[in-house]
Structure formats: C-alpha cells, structure tokens
Amino acid sequence: MKLKIGIIDYGIGNWASIRNSLSKLGFKAIVSSDHDQLKESNLLLLPGVGAFKPAMASIKEKKLDSFIYKKLDQGIPIIGICLGMQLLGRSSMENEHTEGLNIISEDVFPLDQESCHIGWNSTKCLKKNSLLKKFENYDFYFNHSYAFLTNLENTICETSFKTKKFSSILLKDKVAGLQFHPEKSQFHGLDLLKNLIFDLCEYA
C-alpha cells in the first residue's frame, strides 16, 4: 500500500513540483487545504515558499492550524520544509512579530542582515541519529533568510552560514523540520525525504 502524503496548501508555493517529486518517490501525494481531502493522509507536509506573516494568516483563515493540532494528537506525523519548518515554531520576527503554530516552542530569527542564505550547504549532526548521520557529507539546497537558532532541545543538525549557525534539522516526536528543500536537493535530498517519511510513519 502506498503511503498517502497530504501537502498542505496555504497559498503560495510550487506545490505541483513537490507533489510530482513525491509521486516519483512512490508516494500518493495530494495538495489541498480541504480538511476532508487531507484527513486520510499518513503524513502531512507543510511546504515552504513565501513570508511568515501571510502564510500564517492563510493557515488560520483556512483553519488549518486546528486541523494540524488534531492530526498530531492522532499520531499523524508532520514534516515542515523551509518556511514550513519555521511555521512550526512559536513566532517569527520576519517583517514583524507573528505567532506561529507553536508545535516547536522556539522562535525564528533573522539569519544575517546583509544577505540571504541561498544555495547548497551541508548539515552537521549534533545528536545521535542513524538516519540523518548518513547524509552529513552531502549538500542540500537552502533558500531562506530566517531560521531557528542552533542548540535547541530539538535540534538534530546544524548548518553554518558566515559566522552564524542555525538549526537545519529539528525532530520532536513525530514532527520534523527541515530548513533546506529536500525536494530540490536532487538525489540525496529525495533519498533523505523518502527515508524520513518512512521513519516517521514507522513504515518497514
């Protein structure tokens, strides 16, 4: 049986590309903001292009916040990618202070005043994780200017940019946050995403 991935559509984003990538990996992927269409998903994916404030406004308007909390209570895993990872946090300072989903009780900060962190960079595991350790030597595609600080309780991997370090992978129970775009990181990104989905869904 194919695992069903529900891609949460909260407005702006290249959803077709993510859906097609997940299909290529052998998953059944749907993109929707409709609770009924998403409710049978084995895993929810919160993707990320855009700015924090309008994304959160759209999530609230579509009542996707309460839907996500309900699904988490039912043990459905969730992966947040890039902005999607940041939305899992308590708040962000992007443009102005905006409250997030507060699933990970940490705040999102600007990374660098001078430039965005765009391009390929590696991750360094700070905590033991046999799955993510395998990917430590590969580069992944980042495209962001805000991030969680490093050394948080749930930080598994960190990444360096100029003099700063930030959380590039967070894990908390069935919740994962990836600051990079695995779906846009070619072979190794897709491999990581596939294995992470199987891992979170405890799919042997």
Partner 1 sequence: MLKKRLIGVITVLDGMAVQSIGFKKYLPLGRPSILAKNLEKWGADEIFIQSIDRSRNHKGPDLELLKSIAKSSLSTPVIYGGGISSIEEGIKAIKTGCERISLDAFIHQNHTKIKDLSLKLGSQAIIASIPVVIKKEKLYWFDYRKEIFKDSFSKLKELVTNRYISEIFIIDKVNEGYQNSFQEKIINLFPMKNFPLILFGGITEKEQIKNFFNMENISSVAIGNSLNYKEHMIQNHKNQLIGSNIRDSFYDKSLI
Q: Which residues carry out catalysis? A: 82, 181, 183
Instruction: State which of residues 35, 72, 116, 174 lies at the interface with partner 1 (CB under 8 A).
Output: 116
Nearest Cα neighbor of 103 from 33, 177, 41 is 177
In angstroms, rounded to a whole number, what is the distance separating the alpha carbons of residues 95 and 8? 23
Q: For residues 31 and 19, is the Cβ–Cβ distance under 8 A? A: yes
| Residue list 124-153, contact with partner 1 (CB under 8 A) | 139, 141-145
Q: Does 104 bind partner 1 (CB under 8 A)?
A: no
For residue 32, the one-letter residue type is S
Structure tokens at 152: 């948080």
Q: Does 60 bind partner 1 (CB under 8 A)?
A: no
Helix (H) or strand (E) holding 193: helix 186-200
In angstroms, rounded to a whole number, what is the distance separating the alpha carbons of residues 105 and 1? 35
CA atoms within 13 A on the CB side of 2: 12
Instruction: State which of residues 102, 105, 186, 195 lies at the interface with partner 1 (CB under 8 A).
Output: 186
Q: Does 119 bind partner 1 (CB under 8 A)?
A: yes
Pattern 65-84, binding to partner 1, x per CB under 8 A?
------------------x-
DSSP code per residue over 36-63: HHHTT-SEEEE---S-HHHHHHHHHHTT
Q: Does 181 bind partner 1 (CB under 8 A)?
A: yes
Q: Does 7 bind partner 1 (CB under 8 A)?
A: no
Q: Taking the complex as a whole, how short is the minimal distance between the CB of residue 78 and partner 1, in angstroms?
A: 21
What angle do the packed helices 52-61 and 64-73 form, to 10 degrees?
80
Q: How many residues bind partner 1 (CB under 8 A)?
A: 44
Q: Choose the binding region for partner 1 from 6-14, 64-72, 98-106, 165-173 (rule: CB under 8 A).
A: 6-14
Q: Does 12 bind partner 1 (CB under 8 A)?
A: yes
User: Which residues contact partner 1 by CB under 8 A?
Assistant: 12-17, 20-21, 23-24, 49-51, 53-54, 83, 94-95, 114-122, 139, 141-145, 160-162, 181, 183-187, 189-190
